[in-house]
Each structure stands twice: as C-alpha cells, then as structure tokens.
Chain A
C-alpha cells in the first residue's frame, strides 16, 4: 500500500488522507490527488510517542484515526491534507482536537453533511458545503479545479462504481472466498480510480452466473470488514456473504441515476444524496429497514449480520430498531461487535457458527 501511494506521489498525485465516512471523493480525483482512506489501523507500528488523547469509551475507528494523526511525521509518503467528515460526535471531536494541535502539521478539511429534516434548505446547504470543500482542498493542494476535470473525475468514479455495484449484486455467483474478495475490495480505500477499475474488472471476471454459491447466504452490514478471518469462520460454518452493506464498501455506492447534469457540482450533490441510508448521515431508520429487506430479498440471504464497531452510537441505535422490524419479517439478525482485534474472538466465532447453523436449519430467531 505504502509503495503504491509513494508511486502515486511520484506521478504527481499528492496524497490526501480521508477519514470515515462520507466525502465527495471525485473532487479529490479531479484535483489530481489520490485519496487514502483510513478506516482502521493501516500501518504495522504506527503509534508515535504521543500519549492517547481519547478516552477508552471512544470507538476504535476514531482512536485509530487519532493514532495515525499522532504519527503523521513518520508516515511516508507524507499526506498533503486530511479530510475529517462530521460522521459522528466522536469523529467531530477528533477534528476539533486536530485543529487545535499545531504538531499535527496538516491542513484539516471538515465536511458537514446536513443532518436535518432533509428539506430544500438541506440541499442548498449541501451544495454550499461542497463548494467550501472544493475551496479548502484547492488551497491545501495549491491547485485549481476546472469543470472539465471534475466531469472526467465523475465519469471515472461512476465507471468504478458501476463495476463495484455489479460485483456486489452478483456476490451469490462469486467464484472465490469472501476473505479474498474483501482483501481486494479494501484496496479501493487507497487505489486511484484508474487502478481500481482494472482491479474490479478482474474480480468481475470471476463471477459466473451459471454457478450459484452453495450454503447459507447472509447480508453483512456494519463499518468495515475487519478482522478478516471472520469470513473464514463464516465459510467454514457453511455461510457466505450474499449482499454487502458495509459503510466502507456497499453503503457508499449511490443509487443509479440516468439523469445527466450540465453542472458537475449538481451531480456531486445529487450523488451524495443518493447514497444508501446510513445512520452517520442521519438517515431515517425506516428507509434503512426497507433497504436491508430488499438487499436480503434480492440476494436470497437468509439472515443479516451486523458487524459493528464497539461504541459506535449511530449504528447501535439503528440496530435495535432494525432487529425488531426484520425479526417481525422472520429475517434473523446477529449483532457482532469488533474493536479491531487482530483475529475474531472465540465468542464471535461461536456466535457466528451458531447463527449460520440455525439459518441452515431454516429456523428464525
């Protein structure tokens, strides 16, 4: 990963760190930069000498982000800027810490998605926020965005997303292991769209619509596919991922649109608004229940596994309501929490195995 990012930098693409979850990535591309998303601990030994500045009850995703920022001086290639969207109260708190820490010598860019009752005021604000984001990124990178570059970046992003969408819709016919699939998909966190497209084409070539996977299909939702050996456990238990709603993967794919806008900024805004329901965007629960129900129906999944990060309040509120609603439909739900352990815990494994076994027997919890 670091070698790849170094090569990007040498090609003249500055590196921009992007913390979870939502930001207009196409703008980073349009400014000729490469986004490097930090969802968990990306480096082997990244923790600098700085002490922990977050309490133990803050989610591990935010704590990982703080550790990365604390060791920013030691990271090569050196990023030129960092994007910190207002994902949750903790991530916002980290932005506040970052802005008041001169030692973290980087331009920090907030991105505020409107969290209100999504009326016309929200759309106007989102547009202004996108424009403000462009202005701060231009300043950080000492570059100017031109509409043609943005349109090209949008096209590229959409080509990438079309492939990813097709792949995620075909998980039932994926000819490989889930662990292999997710390892490849996680590289999208740092690959430039030019390189992401061939990777996705390679993955799509391993989809065989004549050969459906056997076993118990599940929908997986949560933040990120980590620890990865969870997928080995799933497979050994006779299960497979039939649909994906990870915030880092499927939940950032805007729904398809045939509308073409003359103004690329309008396209950026509408793409953000067309993202699947997500509690970190403060979406309502009912559309998310419908969305997950449809994912399960379309993929033939028999249950849903929520694989959330410990202390993630937005997800924890949703899971309670979703569990109730889907349970009434007879769709079983399992909730697993992770703190980014290196390996899935024994308890996690046992619960997942029991869940798949139960689904295999056709029982509903």
Chain B
C-alpha cells in the first residue's frame, strides 16, 4: 500500500524535487555506476567463454536496463509531484504527455514480475482477496502487488486516474474498475469496438469523441489547458518511435537474425511505456544501429540458425530463457512475433496534424481488435517477410482475445502458408497452469518434425 505523502505547496515542491532528482541525477548516476561496475568486472574476471548456442549479447540490453531503471526510479516519487496515470498497454498515451503525467503500465509491471518469477506469489494475494484463478494473470499480479505493497519496481506511485482502452481486451475494463474501487480513484475507459470487418468511419468517430472527452478530463486532473500543438509534437515522436521499432524488427529479416523474438519482447518496454518521449526514440536509434551493425557483420542471435519461427501471443515470461535455450540448441530461433509487430504495424497511421482522429485510427485498428481473417493475413505476411519455417502459437490461458481462434489459425496458417505450426499451452504469468515438461515435450516433438536433427 502507498505511504502518506507530504502535503501542501511545500510538500508538493519537495516531492517534485525528489521526482526530478531521481530522474535527472540519481538514475543517471546509478547508470554510470552500473557501467563502471560492468567494466571493472570484465577487467578483473577471466573472459567468459562465448555461449555455445547464443551470439554475443546485445549491448543495448544494458542501455535498456538504464532507461527502465530511470523510469521506475522516478516513478517512486511521482505521486504528489506530477499527475500520475495507470494505463493499459493499448491506451493512447500521447494524450497525457503534454500535461506532464507520469505513466505507469500495470501490464509492463506484471511482465517484469513474470520474468522475475514473482507473478504467482503476487497473484495469490489477489486470490486471497477474492479474485478467481480463472481471471487474467496480469490483473491478479498487479492487484496483488498493490494490496501487498510488494513490487520488484521498489514502489509504484498511486494514480490520480486509471485509463483503460478496450483495444487489447474487455478484461481491462473489469480489471481497471476493480482497481478503481480498491484505489478509490476515477477510471476512464476508451472503448474501441471490435472490428469484424474493415475499419469504418462511425467506429473511429466514436473513438475520437471519447479521446476528446478523456483529454478534457485529464487536463482537469492535471490542472492544465489542452495544448494541441504540443499534442501534435508528441504524436510526431510516437510515429517516429513506432517506425524506429519497426526498423529494429525488420532487421530480423536478415539471415541469421541479429536478435530473437524473445529479445524483442524484452525490448518492447520503452515503446509501450515511454511512447511520445524523446528518450524512447533515442533508445531505439541506438538499438537499431547496433542491430544494423550485427547484420552487416553476419552476427546472429544464435550461433547455428537453421530454422526460423514466428511466435503468436504474449510470451511465457517466466520461461523465456529456458525456451530460448531449448530452441537455440537445435538451431531454431524465433525471428518475429505478432505481439511485437503490433507496436509497429499501425505507425503509418499517426498524423501529427490531426492527432486525435489519427490516434482513433491507430488505436482502434490494433490487430488484436481485428477479425481472425485479418490476423491470419498478418501472420502470413510475417511468415513470408521473415522467411519463417514454422510458427508457435502460445495458447495463453490468461488471454482469451488472443487465444480464442488460435486452433483455427494454427490449421489455416499451416495450410495456407505451407509451414508447420504448434499450439503450445501455457500462461503468460501463472506458472501453475503451465506444464513445463509437457510443453517442452511438445516443443521437442515439433522441432523433430522438421527433420535433420
């Protein structure tokens, strides 16, 4: 639970100092310290044998750590200093940037808990509180984290508002309304009706109208006026960020691929949480340049790339390492994922001259909000562009909108793209509904079917 913050004008100024200090002084100093420590370690320790299966690690991973540390560290002091919003991953955060909101992504946070294998423990807190184990693991993990005050981020700032967008699922409405009742803060839901066919004007007008309503509410909470020029500049940065992310992903078309789909999941952090900020774009420029360099020198993410795969659905966060190794040992690599691609796919639709209407278009057309036929076409396109030999569709217990229809998708993709497909049961965060042995057995059999192993 969040502790009491200093109040009054003086308290707010102090808090603001702490917030800015954490972002501008402490976090960079910490990053410098970490870099020095790394250098010292590499200088003192005997050189590590290169991995038998993996290529050299991405330098950008260290930078990623610094960028996210800064984000989470400053977040510890955000409430009371600046307005704070908790938002869903598909929410148009461009709206919030001109008002100086600090933005927290419960899904990113839950993913972080998942990677650190803390998800189940936190989910259990929410289950004791009353949530069923059949609800989304991300929701349980975050609600459990708030109720217990336990988070690998140190501390999450209490929100002034919760903002959800239905483009990724309907679950977020239930999740955020539950959170709102616990936190006693307002919630605004932007509804992006599901697109069974082609995008239509009335749906996008409806979304744009809600974005206007939402922006006015966020302005009131922040005590600021709407600045449409500033919003246009943010939209321009978001467009560039999505394009840069797209460029990073596209570099995996090279053979060998310079990074894996699982690494892409980890490097998604800034595009999800920091869209619209200059440091997000700077980060992806750095990552893109490094990936280009790797492509130029033929450095692959794995040492002996033989088969290339597509991954559908969210990752199994707590098994990223073991699955990567299992695949790499026999020359398999994930080169593209539908989820990562989703953050680049709609980039061309951003229009800084008309940020609200174009945001309505961008966010309503998110692939998970589209029909099965649309998703199949997108997957076929990825299979062709990235020269995939097969696809793994993670049937994710926690995520119904992504998973319902995957049985059909797996069959149709196999037939229409002439590749092998595997439906792999799991859960993005709850290890209790994932059978590691069974999954590994199925994966091994799938890889054997490619022959030559």
- Residue numbers of A with Cβ under 8 A of B are 52-55, 57-58, 62, 86, 88-90, 92-97, 99-101, 110, 112, 114-117, 119-122, 124-125, 128-129, 132, 279, 282, 284-286, 310-311, 313-314, 316-321, 323-324
Query: Which residues of chain A are near B7, meaning CB under 8 Å?
Result: none
Instruction: Provide the bound-state CA to CA distance between A96 and B135, in Å.
Output: 22
Cβ-defined contact, A100 with B174, below 8 A: no
Is the Cβ of A110 less than 8 Å from the Cβ of B196? yes
Give complex CA distance A162, B116 in Å. 56
The residue from B131, B193, B371, B397 contacting A320, defined by CB atoms under 8 A apart: B131
Which of B178, B187, B194 has the most chain A CB within a 10 Å cutoff? Answer: B194
A90, A115, A311, A316 interface centre (most CB from chain B within 10 Å): A115
Say whether A116 contacts B189, CB under 8 Å: yes
In the complex, the answer to whether B136 meets A313 with C-beta atoms within 8 Å is yes
Check B213 for interface membership: any CB of A closer than 8 A: yes
Are B178's CB and A285's CB within 8 A? yes
Assuming A89-B171, A99-B371, A119-B210, what are 15 further A-B pairs, CB within 8 angstroms? A54-B404, A55-B406, A58-B400, A90-B400, A92-B401, A93-B401, A93-B404, A93-B405, A101-B408, A110-B196, A115-B173, A116-B189, A116-B190, A121-B209, A321-B130
Which residue on chain A has the smallest CB distance to residue B168?
A89
Kindly list chain B residues whose C-beta atoms are within 8 Å of the C-beta of A119.
210, 213
Roughly how many angstroms separate A56 CA and B92 CA in the complex, as a whole number? Answer: 34
Which secondary structure dominates chain A's binding surface? helix
Question: What is the bound-complex CA distance between A93 and B194, given in angstroms?
Answer: 10
Q: Pick 8 A–B contacts, CB within 8 A, sort by A.
A: A52-B407, A55-B403, A58-B404, A93-B400, A95-B196, A114-B193, A282-B174, A282-B191
Taken together as a complex, chains A and B put the C-alpha atoms of A23 and B173 apart, in Å, by 20
Q: CB < 8 Å: which of A89, A100, A279, A318 contacts B404?
A: A89
By a CB distance below 8 angstroms, the chain B residues around A112 are: 193-194
Is B395 an interface residue when CB atoms closer than 8 A count as contact? Answer: yes
Residue of A nearest to B212 (CB): A121
Task: State whether A116 touches B210 (Cβ < 8 A).
Answer: yes
Bound-complex Cα distance A284 to B164 (A): 14
- A54-B209 Cα distance, complex, nearest whole Å: 35
- Interface assignment of B62: CB less than 8 Å from any CB of chain A: no
Check A310 against B134 for contact (C-beta < 8 Å). yes
B436 to chain A, nearest CB (A): 18
Distance in angstroms from B188 CB to nearest chain A CB is 5
Asked if B354 lies at the interface with its beta carbon under 8 angstroms from chain A, I say: no
User: Of the candidates A129, A282, A316, A318, which one forms a contact with B189 in the assembled complex, judged by CB atoms under 8 Å apart?
Assistant: A282
CB distance from A31 to the nearest CB of B (A): 21
Bound CA–CA A314/B202 (angstroms): 27
A128 contact set on B, CB distance < 8 A: 202, 206
**How many inter-chain contacts with C-beta < 8 Å in the A-B complex?**
154
Q: Quick one: which of B243-292 are within 8 Å of A by CB?
A: none
With A279-B174, A282-B189 already in contact, the answer to whether A92 and B131 are too (CB < 8 A) is no
Contact A115 B213 (CB under 8 A): no
Q: Contact: B131 with A316, CB < 8 Å?
A: yes
B372 touches A99 (CB 8 A): yes
Cα distance A339–B360 when bound, in Å?
39
The residues of B that contact A320 with a CB separation of less than 8 Å are 129-132, 178
B181 located at the interface, meaning its Cβ lies under 8 Å from any Cβ of chain A in the complex: yes
Contacts of A62 in B (CB 8 A): 404
Confirm or deny: B169 has a beta carbon within 8 angstroms of a beta carbon on chain A.
Answer: yes
Partner of B134, one of A116, A125, A132, A316: A316
Task: Give, as a whole number of angstroms, the nearest-CB distance from B360 to chain A.
Answer: 11
Known contacts A314-B174, A321-B181; A89/B373 CB under 8 A: no
Contact B132 A92 (CB under 8 A): no
Report which of A53, A55, A90, A96 forms a contact with B371, defined as CB distance below 8 A: A96
Known: A99-B373, A317-B135. A117 touches B169 (CB 8 A): no
A80 to B203, CA, bound (A): 27
Tell me whether B400 and A89 are in contact (CB under 8 A).
yes
With known contacts A88-B400, A94-B404, A125–B193 Cβ distance under 8 A: yes
Closest B residue to A118 using CB positions: B189
Contact A117 B403 (CB under 8 A): no
A159 to chain B, nearest CB (A): 32
Evaluate contact between B134 and A57: CB separation under 8 angstroms: yes
Is there an interface contact between B134 and A286, defined as CB atoms closer than 8 Å? no
CB distance from A332 to the nearest CB of B (A): 14
Bound form: Cα–Cα A76–B395 in Å? 35
Query: A316 contacts B407, CB within 8 Å?
Result: no
B407 touches A55 (CB 8 A): yes
Structural contact, B193 and A321, CB atoms closer than 8 A: no
Chain B residues with CB below 8 A from A132, complex form: 202
Q: Are A117 and B206 in contact (CB under 8 A)?
A: no
Nearest residue (CB) in B for A121 is: B209
Q: Is B170 an interface position by the 8 A CB rule?
A: yes
**Nearest-CB residue, chain A, relative to B209:** A121
A54–B407 contact, CB under 8 A?
yes
Which A residues are in CB contact (< 8 Å) with B397?
Answer: 57
Going nearest first, the 6 A-B pairs with the smallest beta carbon separation are A93-B404, A116-B191, A320-B130, A121-B209, A317-B174, A89-B400
Closest to B369 in A: A92
Interface centre among B132, B173, B175 (most CB of A within 10 A): B132
The residues of A that contact B407 with a CB separation of less than 8 Å are 52-55
The chain B residue with its CB closest to the CB of A58 is: B404
Task: List B274-321 residues whose CB lies under 8 Å from chain A.
Answer: none
Closest residue on chain A to residue B423 by CB atoms: A55
CB of A316 within 8 A of CB of B135, answer: yes
B-chain residues with CB within 8 Å of residue A93 when the two chains form the complex: 400-401, 403-405
Query: Which residues of chain A are within 8 angstroms of B170 by Cβ–Cβ distance?
Result: 86, 88-89, 92, 115, 282, 314
Closest CB in chain A relative to B122 CB, distance in Å = 16
The answer to whether A285 and B181 have CB atoms under 8 Å apart is yes
Say which residue of A92, A101, A313 sits within 8 Å of B174 (CB atoms): A313
Cβ of A97: which chain B residues have Cβ within 8 Å of it? 372, 404-405, 408
Q: Which residues of B contact A311 (CB under 8 A)?
A: 134
Most buried by A among B134, B178, B210, B400: B400
Q: Is the CB of A117 within 8 A of B131?
A: no
CB distance from B116 to the nearest CB of A (A): 25
CB distance from B310 to the nearest CB of A (A): 19
Residue contact B194 to A92, C-beta cutoff 8 Å: yes
